[in-house]
Amino acid sequence: MDPTTLQFFGYGFLLGCLVAAWVAFSGWRRRRGLELELQRLRRHLDDHMEITNEGANQRKLELTRLKDDNERLRVAIKAWQEKPDRRQIRMLMVYDRAVRQITATAPGFSAHWENALRDAEHDVEQMDRGLLAFARRLILPTTKSPSSDEK
């Protein structure tokens, strides 16, 4: 081999080593960038999962609190309705409706009274379920006797 060919071979080998080093360095740099990006995405995912978990826990606590409040209020309303004054007022409303209905249809008193009483209880239950139940409970029905209408 002559020195010129050997020199070209050496330059080619050196140039090949430089290209290989450049490719290896750029591959290392790219891999390092991808690893950093992956770490950043993992941190972001961890933060997102932590925030989501905190939000879910807060919603569960709020739901539990609202269920407890709902149960407590339901018990309070039931106790309020069972107070003697309220029970008597409700029965007064039932009897008032029944008497009004029976005076309209008076031929046979006892059978009609039972039917009217059942109908009046049903009407009062319906009033308790309606949207205006609160207002109706506040405003007691006026009890008008048939003799006051004649005067």
pLDDT tens digits, one per residue of 99-135: 777 766 666 666 667 777 788 888 777 777 765 565 6
Query: Between vectors from CA 65 to CA 61 and to CA 67, what angle results, nearest 5°?
Result: 115
Q: Do the Cβ atoms of 98 and 119 come closer than 8 Å?
A: yes
Closest C-alpha to 106, from 146, 143, 144: 146
Predicted TM-score of the model (pTM): 0.38
**16 to 3, 6, 25: CA distances (angstroms):** 19, 15, 14
pLDDT tens digits, one per residue of 53-88: 999 999 999 999 999 999 999 888 888 777 767 677
SS3 for 83? Answer: coil
Q: Do the Cβ atoms of 128 and 80 come closer than 8 Å?
A: no
Residue 143: band (very low, low, confident or very high) from pLDDT cuts 50, 70, 90: very low
The mean per-residue pLDDT over the stretch 11-15 comes to 93
